Amino acid sequence: MSPRLPPVLSRANLPEAELYAARLDGELFAIDDCFSPIDEVECSGYRARSLLPTPSARLIAERRTAAWVLGASDRAPARHQFCTNVAARVRVPSEFRIEVREVVIDDSDVLVIDGLRVTTPLRTALDLARFSTEFGPDERAAITALMDIGAFGSADCATAMNRRRNLPRKQLALARIEEAAGCRATPRRYPPLTR
């Protein structure tokens, strides 16, 4: 009996040409820069594993990357977003396609998924609302999905932000979260049936 391959494959497991050939043959599907056998179901754990080759254990997946790992977004961002505690000074080699911010973050704002540190659904929603340059349908959908995943509402977001003094972009974030929550509460309107 041959040894079973791990559910998330990278260039560390097989040569790149072999991975892409297996994908073309329909044996693997892509999870960001990694691959998974087609009999596996993509989940948060596998998405987290695809990011584990990041350069430091001090990094925390945040904003769009955290939304993707948590399952609130279907697409991985083109450039992954990570943060680190301001006290944890991290230097990231340029070969990684990531951006890193230094932030004030509590342990309660972080969870671990298959070895990857990720901001909680609540913290991710707050950061998306506060720091997204554009706030369109994708951002609103991610925030409403995070609200469902984390079982919280706009009042919980307001409470979390009000606990912090001098929080930049708080009013903008609250308005965006209310907008997203309003989209979630609005029932879909379907055209009348015709015969």
Would residue 125 count as lying in a domain? yes
Would residue 171 count as lying in a domain? yes
**H/E/C letters for each residue in the chain?**
CCCCCCCCECCCCCCHHHHHHHHHCCCEEEECCEEEECCCCCCHHHHHHHCCCCCCCCCEECHHHHHHHHCCCCCCCCCEEEEEEHHHCCCCCCCCCEEEEEECCCHHHEEEECCEEEECHHHHHHHHHHHCCCCCHHHHHHHHHHHHHHCCCHHHHHHHHHCCCCCCCHHHHHHHHHHHHHHHHCCCCCCCCCC
Would residue 34 count as lying in a domain? yes
Tens digits of residue pLDDT in 136-152: 999 999 999 999 999 99
* 99 has a pLDDT exceeding 80: yes
Would residue 170 count as lying in a domain? yes
Q: Give residue 184's pLDDT.
A: 60
Q: Tell me: do 114 and 140 sit in the same domain.
A: no
The structure tokens listed for 98 are 């990531």
Q: Tell me: do 152 and 99 sit in the same domain.
A: no
- pTM, two decimals, is 0.87
Q: How far apart are CA 51 and CA 172, in angstroms?
A: 31
Would residue 101 count as lying in a domain? yes
Would residue 104 count as lying in a domain? yes
Q: Give residue 95's pLDDT.
A: 59
**In terms of DSSP bridges, do strands 60-61 and 80-85 run parallel, antiparallel, or are they unpaired?**
antiparallel
Q: Tell me: do 40 and 99 sit in the same domain.
A: yes
Q: Tell me: do 49 and 126 sit in the same domain.
A: no
Would residue 21 count as lying in a domain? no
21 to 25, 33, 109, 125, 172: CA distances (angstroms): 6, 14, 40, 38, 47
Q: Give residue 16's pLDDT.
A: 92
Q: Give residue 24's pLDDT.
A: 95
Last residue of a domain, one of 119, 150, 173: 119
Q: Tell me: do 109 and 126 sit in the same domain.
A: no
Tens digits of residue pLDDT in 69-95: 999 999 999 999 999 988 777 666 665
Rg (CA), the chain: 19
Domains in the chain, number: 2
Q: Give residue 1's pLDDT.
A: 52
Q: Tell me: do 39 and 67 sit in the same domain.
A: yes
Q: Give residue 194's pLDDT.
A: 43
Q: Give residue 18's pLDDT.
A: 94
Q: Give residue 19's pLDDT.
A: 94
* 193 has a pLDDT exceeding 70: no
- Containing structural domain, residue 108: 26-119
Q: Tell me: do 102 and 128 sit in the same domain.
A: no
Mean of all residue pLDDT scores within the chain: 87
Last residue of a domain, one of 79, 102, 119: 119
* Furthest-apart CA atoms within the chain: distance in Å: 66
Q: Tell me: do 73 and 136 sit in the same domain.
A: no
Would residue 161 count as lying in a domain? yes
- Asked which of 6-20, 29-43, 102-116, 177-191 is least confident by mean pLDDT, the reply is 177-191
Q: Tell me: do 101 and 40 sit in the same domain.
A: yes
Last residue of a domain, one of 63, 87, 119: 119
Q: Tell me: do 76 and 137 sit in the same domain.
A: no
- For residue 2, name the pLDDT band (cuts at 50, 70, 90): low
Average pLDDT over residues 106-110: 94
Q: Tell me: do 104 and 127 sit in the same domain.
A: no
